Chain A
Amino acid sequence: MSDNIIGAAKPRIDGPLKLTGLAKYSSDNLLDDMVYAYGVFSSIASGEVTNIDLSVAQQSPGVIDIFHHDHFPQLFRTPSSMEQENKVDEERLPFEDNQVHYAGQFVALVVADSFENARAAAYKVKVDYKTSPVLANLAQAVKVNGTQLHQDSRNSRGDPEPAFQSAQHKIDFTYVTPVETHNPMEMHATVAAWSGDKLTMYDTTQGVVNARNVYAKVFGLSPDRVEVITPFLGSGFGSKLWPWPHAIAAAAAAREVGRPVQLVVPRQEMFTTTGHRPETSQRLRLATDDDGRLVSLRHESISTTSTIDQGNNPYVESCGKMTQGLYSCENLLVTHSTTGTNRGTPTSMRAPGAAPGLFALESAMDEMAIEAGLDPLEFRRRNYADSDESKGLPWSSNKLREAYDQAAEKFGWSKRNSEIGSMRDGNEIVGWGMATCNWEAIRRPCDARVSLRADGTAYASCATQDIGTGTYTIVAQAVSQVTGLPLEKIEVELGDSSYPSGPISGGSWATATALPAVAAAARKALEELKSYAVSERGAFVGAKADDLSIENGQLKSADGKTVAFAEVLKQRKLASADGEAHTGGAPTDQYAFRSFGAHFVEVRWDQGISNLRVSRVVSAIDVGRAVNTLTSRNQVEGAIVMGVGMALFEQTEYDHRNGRPVNNNYAEYLVPVHADQPEVDVILLDYPDYKFNEFGARGIGEIGITGLAAAVANAVYHATGKRIRELPITMDKLMDDVPQAQQA
C-alpha cells in the first residue's frame, strides 16, 4: 500500500483532456439528425398568457415546431424527495398552464434546424399577457402575505428572552443579503435523445442519479429506461443540483419531433429559470455576561421563495443551521421562515444557508465583541463549543482553536490597533477583520465498482460527477492507495447514471461519500484477484489468500515472492478481477461532524475616491484530511474569491415596480476579476477525521466561502466606522456626503 498518495498534491488526471478540448461537455454532443430548441421567456413577472401569436414565427426559416401551454404533451410532476433521489426545486412542469410566476419563465419553445434559426423564430413569437400585482422583493412579499414559519428547522434550547433581558451587554440587529446568482461558466444545457422508449440525456447536472430518477418520473418510465450522461461540468455551484424546466422541455420536445434536441439556456435566463440564492433578512439578538460569554443567542431568518412553491414544500435558506452549534450558549433560538415572491425558484448555492447565515452571525459576533469591550478573536475563543450543544453530541473532531491560532499568527493579528481608522498607509485606511467559518460534514450511502485488468491497469466507476473540482483525480488516488498502482495506470469513469449509484456533487459530500465505496470496491477486487492467484493454475497456487499482501500493484507472498496483478490474471487467462461495494453513511447518532476554520481579512479604504478593496486574506481551514492538497487549496482559494464577490459585488437586481431582473448579464452582475484578487494564504490543517471515514476527509467545497463576507464587513467597520448590515458593501454605502435622491 502506498501511504502518501492520500494527502499528496496531484494535478488533475483529466487536465490534458480539458486543455486540449477533448473533454466533452453537454452541449458539445452533436448527435445525428439533431435539432435545436430556443425558449421564449416571459417578459412579465406575474399574470397569465392570454394569447400566443405564432403566425410570423412559424414562417421563419427552419422552424419545425413551437411548443407552448396549449401544445405540449401531458407529463407527470415528480414528488420532490431527497431520500428517494428524485428531488426538484421547481415542481411546476414547463407549459403546464398559462400562468406566469416570474420573469424569464418559459412561455414557448421553438424547435428549428439550427440554433440561429430557433433563436430568430423565438424573437418572432408574439405573446400577450394579462399582468397581476407583483411581489418584487422580500419586503413587498412580507407586507402583502407575511411569512411562513418552518417548524421542522426550528431549533431551541433554554430560555433566550429572559436571559437577553437581564444581560449586561446585548445587541439586536437585522442583516440583509440580496439574491445572488450562481453563474457557472458552462451554461445549462441538455441534449435529449429518444430511442424507442429509452431516453438519453446529455445534461448539465450535478447529480446524474437524481436527474435520471426525476426524468423517469416525469415521463412515466422505469429508471432503467433513462440514462443521464455528464462526464464533465463547467461547474454549477448548486444551480445544477436538481433538474430545471428547460431539461424537461428539451426531452419532451425531442419525443414530439422524433429527433434529438439540443437546448442551451441563454446567459440572461440563467438568472431567472435555473435557480439563485434567495434574498434573506436575518434578525440577530445576542447577549453576554460580564465575562464575555454568550448567555442568549437568537437567529431568526426570512428567505424568499417563489410563489410557485410557497405553501407547498419551498426551498428554505437555512441561515441558522451553523448557529445552532457553532458557539456555546445555553439559551438559543434558531428559526427559518419564507415568503413567496414573483421570482424563479431559489436553490442551494455554494454553502447554502451558511454563506448568508454566517455573514449575519459573524457580523453580529463582531458587534457583540465591541459592545462587550473585547477583541473579536478573544470573544470567539471564550465562546468555543466543546460539543455540539444543538445535538448533545461530541464533535468527531474540532480544531477551531488551532485554526484561530495559526491564521492569527500568520496574519499578524496581534499588531492590530483596535481604534477605528487608526491604521493608515498613504491615501488608504487599512482595516482588519476576522470571522469563523463552518460547514456540516455529510456522508451518504454510495456504490462503486473497481476492476483490476489484465493490461496492468485498474478501472473505477461511480455515478457521481466531477464538477471541475478534481473528483476524477481523488477517486484514482483512492484506488492507488489501496492497490499500490500508480495514478497513470488508473482509469476513472464518472458522470453516467448507469454506473453504480453515487452522490450528488454538492454540499461537500462527494469526497467523503464516494471514496470509501471506491476503496471498498478496490479491496473486493483484490480479494477476487487473490482467490484467482491461490487456486489451480494460479500464480500462488497452494498458498492461502490471507497470507498474500499487496505491494505496488503486485501480490506478495509471505516468503517474499511478488507477481504483478496483470501476470496473475494472465496466468488464469482472465480479463479482470472485479469488485463492487456499497458503503453507508456516517455514524450521525454518535458524533456531530463539522468542518471549522477562520478567515482574517485586510481591506483598504481610499476615502478620497471612495475605493474599497480586499487586499489580503489569511485562512486556516480544518476539513480533516485534504485528499489532494493541490485541488483542495484550489477549492478554498476559489471560495475565498467567491466570498469577496459576495462581500463587495454580487446582487441580482429586480425592478421594484414589476419584478423583472435588471442586471441579468455578465457585464452588470459583478463577480471579482483578476484585478480584484487579494493576496490569499490558505493554511490546511491536517487532522484526519477517522470517525467520519477511513480517509479522514470531511470535504472542502463549501467552507471557504462561509464567514468571508462577515470578515470583510468587520474589516470595513474597523477601517471606516461604518457597519454595513446589507450586502454587498458598495461604495455608496460608505460615502458620507451623498445628496438626497430626487423623489420620482
Chain B
Amino acid sequence: MRNFAYQRAGNVTQAYTLHGNDNSADFIAGGTNLIDMVKLDIMRPERLVDVNLLPLTEIEELDDGRLKIGALVTNTDLAYDERVTTRYPVLSEALLAGASTQLRNVATTAGNVMQRTRCPYFRNPSRPCNKREPGSGCGALDGINRNHAVLGGSDKCIAVHPSDMCVGMQALGATITVEGPDGPREIPFEEYHLLPGDTPEREHDLRDGELITHVTLDAPIEGAKSHYLKLRDRMSFEFALASCAAVVALDGDTIREARIALGGIATKPWRSHEAEAALKGKPATEATFQQAAEAALAGAVPHRDAAFKIPLAKQAIVRALSTVTR
C-alpha cells in the first residue's frame, strides 16, 4: 500500500468537488474492494474521498411503484429490507449468496455496482493486463482461465464481473443515478457496465468526478416469481462459476414474461434477451427451459479451462426456471 491523502465529504456536492475530475482520487465507502486493491498495489490513489457521511442510506418506495436505494445502503440492510424480501426476493437471494456476513455488513450498494474483477492477472501488478495497463496484453486469454468469461469477452479481456447483486438487479431492471459537476443524470442499469471490446480499462459509463447516488429498481412485474441460483465449487464464500437470476410471470402454464440474468460467466452482469425471447409465450416446460438455455449461451466461447461453464450456465438457467415455475 502506498500512502494517500484522506478527505471526508459531508454532502454530495462536496464529495464530487473534493474528488475533482482527474484520476488521482477515488471515492471510498465500505472499502471492502478498494482497500484490497490498494494493498495489492493495483490501484494507487493519491487521495481518497470518504463518502460514508453522505445522506444516501435510505430505501424509499416511489409513487410509481419503484424502489429507490441509496448508494450507501449496505448489502446486509438491503438484503433484509422487507420491501426487498417481499417485492424483490431475487435481489435478496443474490445479495445473500455473495461474500460473507462480515463483508456484507460494510459493503455498499454503489460499491457493489463498482466492484472490480477477481481476474488474477488483473490483481497482480507484475502480470500483463489490458484492463489495468492498456496495451500490456491479456494474461488470462491463454493462461489459467477457469474463472473467466465465456460471454462478452474480447481478444483484449475475458475478465468476469464478480457481483451477485448486479445480476439480481439486471434481471429486475433498474436505473442508476449519478451526480457530478454537470448535475445529476440517469443511466439504465443494463447500459451502465461496458463490454471490454478494445478498451477493457473502461468498465462503466461513469464520467470523471461523478458519483453514484442511487439505484432505483423498476416496479416489480405483476404476479412474477423469482429465484437466484449460484453454482460454485464450495457451498459458500466463493465467487460464482455460473449463476442465474430468473424472474417469471405465468398465465396458467404459459410464460407471460421472463427475465434472465447471468453471473460468473460474462464480462458484465449479463441480461439474456435471447433467453427471454425463447421463453415468452411458451409453455413452462423443461424443453422450453432447455431452449432458453441454448439461446442464452449460443455465442459463448469455450476458453482453455472455462469450457465447462457453458453447460454449467445452461444447467443454472434450467434449474432456476424449474424452481421458479414449480
Instruction: Using CB atoms and an 8 Å cutoff, list the residues of chain A in contact with chain B.
Output: 43, 61, 116, 119-120, 123-124, 608-611, 613, 648-649, 653, 655-657, 660, 662-663, 665, 667-668, 670, 672-676, 730-732, 735, 737-742, 744
Contacts and interface: CB of A to CB of B under 8 A. Distances in A.
Contact of B233 (A61, A655, A730, A735): A730
A119 B318 contact: no
Contacts of B318: 608
Interface in B99-115: none
Nearest to B312: A610
A607 to B, nearest CB: 9
A655 B143 contact: yes
Contacts of B319: 608-609
A191 to B, nearest CB: 21
Interface size classification for chain B:
35 or more
Contacts of B306: 741
B237 A673 contact: yes
Kindly list the 9 A-B residue pairs having the minimum CB-CB distance in the complex, ordered from nearest.
A43-B126, A675-B235, A732-B308, A675-B236, A744-B142, A741-B307, A662-B144, A738-B308, A120-B2
A507 to B, nearest CB: 29
Given A123-B2, A657-B142, A744-B141, A673 B235 contact: yes
A611 B1 contact: no
A514 B107 CA distance: 48
B239 interface: yes
Given A657-B142, A660-B127, A738-B307, A609 B231 contact: yes
21 contacts: A116-B3, A608-B318, A613-B235, A648-B234, A662-B143, A667-B118, A668-B147, A670-B234, A674-B236, A675-B236, A731-B241, A735-B308, A735-B312, A738-B307, A738-B308, A738-B310, A738-B311, A739-B307, A741-B302, A742-B301, A744-B142
Interface in B75-120: 118, 120
- Of listed B231, B305, B306, B308, residue having the most chain A CB within 10 A: B308
Given A608-B318, A663-B120, A673-B234, 16 more contacts: A116-B1, A120-B1, A123-B1, A610-B231, A611-B231, A648-B233, A649-B233, A653-B144, A655-B139, A656-B144, A662-B120, A667-B239, A672-B234, A738-B311, A739-B310, A741-B306
B316 interface: yes
Given A668-B118, A675-B234, A676-B236, A731 B308 contact: yes
B297 to A, nearest CB: 10
A741 B241 CA distance: 16
Interface in B109-160: 118, 120, 123, 126-127, 139, 141-144, 146-147
Contacts of A737: 311
Contacts of B238: 667, 670
Contacts of A656: 143-144
Contacts of B15: none
B46 to A, nearest CB: 13
Interface of B: 1-3, 41, 118, 120, 123, 126-127, 139, 141-144, 146-147, 229, 231, 233-239, 241, 301-308, 310-312, 315-316, 318-319
Contacts of A123: 1-2, 41
Given A120-B2, A609-B231, A735-B312, A741 B305 contact: yes
A675 B101 CA distance: 13
A737 B303 CA distance: 15
Nearest to B311: A737
A731 B233 contact: yes
B156 to A, nearest CB: 15
A514 B315 CA distance: 55
Contacts of B237: 673, 675
B236 A670 contact: no
B285 to A, nearest CB: 15
Contacts of B239: 667
A610 B127 CA distance: 32
Contacts of A124: 2
A613 B234 CA distance: 8
A542 B201 CA distance: 92
A486 to B, nearest CB: 40
B302 to A, nearest CB: 5
Nearest to B229: A609
Contacts of B143: 655-657, 662
Nearest to B310: A739
Nearest to B320: A609
B36 to A, nearest CB: 9
Nearest to A677: B235
Contacts of A665: 123
A662 B148 CA distance: 13
Contacts of A655: 139, 143-144
A208 B139 CA distance: 42
